[in-house]
Structure 1
Amino acid sequence: MKKLFTKEILMYLIFGVLTTVVSWGTYTVFVNLCNMSVFWANLVSWVCAVTFAYITNKLWVFDSKSWEVKFVVKEAVSFFASRGVTGVIEIVCVP
C-alpha cells in the first residue's frame, strides 16, 4: 500500500502553512507599522512569502542544493512565474 504522506508532501504542507504565516505577518507589519497602503503591503508581503517559499521548498522539499547563479536564476524565475497567478489574485481581490 502506498503511503499517503511522503516526506516531500509533508514538508510541502508544513512550509505551505509557514508561507501563509509569513504572508499574513509581513502584510500586518507593512500596514500597521509601516503605514503602507493595502496595495503596496499586499504586493511586498506576496514577494516576501514567495521568496520564503522558494528558499524553503528548494532546500527542504525538493532537496535542490545547487547555488550556481545560472541555475538559481532559472529556477527562481520559474518558481515566481508559476506563483504569479496567485499574486495577481491576491493583489486584485483584496478590498
Structure 2
Amino acid sequence: MINQVHELYKKYEEVINYLFFGVLATIVNIAVFYLFDTVLNVPYLYANAISIVAAILFAFVTNKLYVFKSQSASKGEAFKEFYLFVGFRLLSGVFDMLSMFILVDFLTINTNVSKIITQFIVVVVNYVFSKWFIFKQKEG
C-alpha cells in the first residue's frame, strides 16, 4: 500500500507539488490582502497589488525549487526565469486586478469573497504559464 502511494506520488509529483505550493501561495495572497484591506484599511486595489507581489515572490521560490526543480546553469539563466515568471504572473495579476474591480465595484461582492473567487482561476492560469513558458524542462 505504501509503495503504491509512493509510486502515485512519483508519477504525479509535479502536479501534487504545484497544487500544494499553489495553495500556500494562494493563502499568502489572500492573507496579505486581508491584512491590508480589512485590518489596515488600505484601499482594496492597493491591498490587492501588494498581495499579488507577495504571492509572486513566494511562488517563484517554491516553484523554482520544489515544483519544477529548476537548476539554473548561470545567473543569466536564473534571471531569465525570474523575469519570465514575474512577467507572466503580472499578466495574471492584471486579470486579478480587473476581476476584483468588476466583482467589487460592479457586482458589489465583498472584497474578501471577490479575492477568493478570483484566485481559483488565477491558479490554473499560473500553472500553464509556469509549466509551458518559464520552467521548461531541457531536452536531452
- TM-score bin, normalised by smaller chain: 0.7 to 0.9
Give the 3 Å change call, closer, same or farther, for CA 59–93 of structure 1 in structure 2: same
1:46 is paired with a residue whose SS is: helix
Task: Give ranges in structure 2 of 5+ residues lacking alignment.
Answer: 1-7, 105-140
Kindly indicate whether residue 58 of structure 2 is the aligned counterpart of residue 44 of structure 1: no
Normalised by the length of structure 1, the TM-score is 0.84
Kindly indicate whether residue 47 of structure 2 is the aligned counterpart of residue 71 of structure 1: no
Normalised by the length of structure 2, the TM-score is 0.59
Q: In proportion to residue count, which structure has more helix? A: 2
Deviations 1:4-57 (A, max 9, x none): 951111101111111110110000011133321111100010011111111000
2:45 is paired with a residue whose SS is: helix
Among 32, 43, 53, the alignment partner of 2:38 is 32
Cα distance, 1:67 vs. partner? Answer: 8.6
For the aligned residue pairs, the C-alpha RMSD in angstroms reads 2.0
Cα distance, 1:89 vs. partner? Answer: 1.3
Moved more, 27-36 or 49-58: 27-36
Moved more, 64-73 or 9-18: 64-73
Kindly indicate whether residue 66 of structure 2 is the aligned counterpart of residue 60 of structure 1: yes
Percent of aligned positions that are identical:
34
Cα distance, 1:73 vs. partner? Answer: 1.8
In 1: Cα distance, 2:82 partner to 2:63 partner = 11
Between structure 1 and structure 2, the one with the greater Rg is: 2
Match of 2:15 in 1: 9
In 2: Cα distance, 1:35 partner to 1:69 partner = 40
* Superposition map of 1:79-90 within 5 A: 79-90=85-96
In 1: Cα distance, 2:81 partner to 2:36 partner = 28
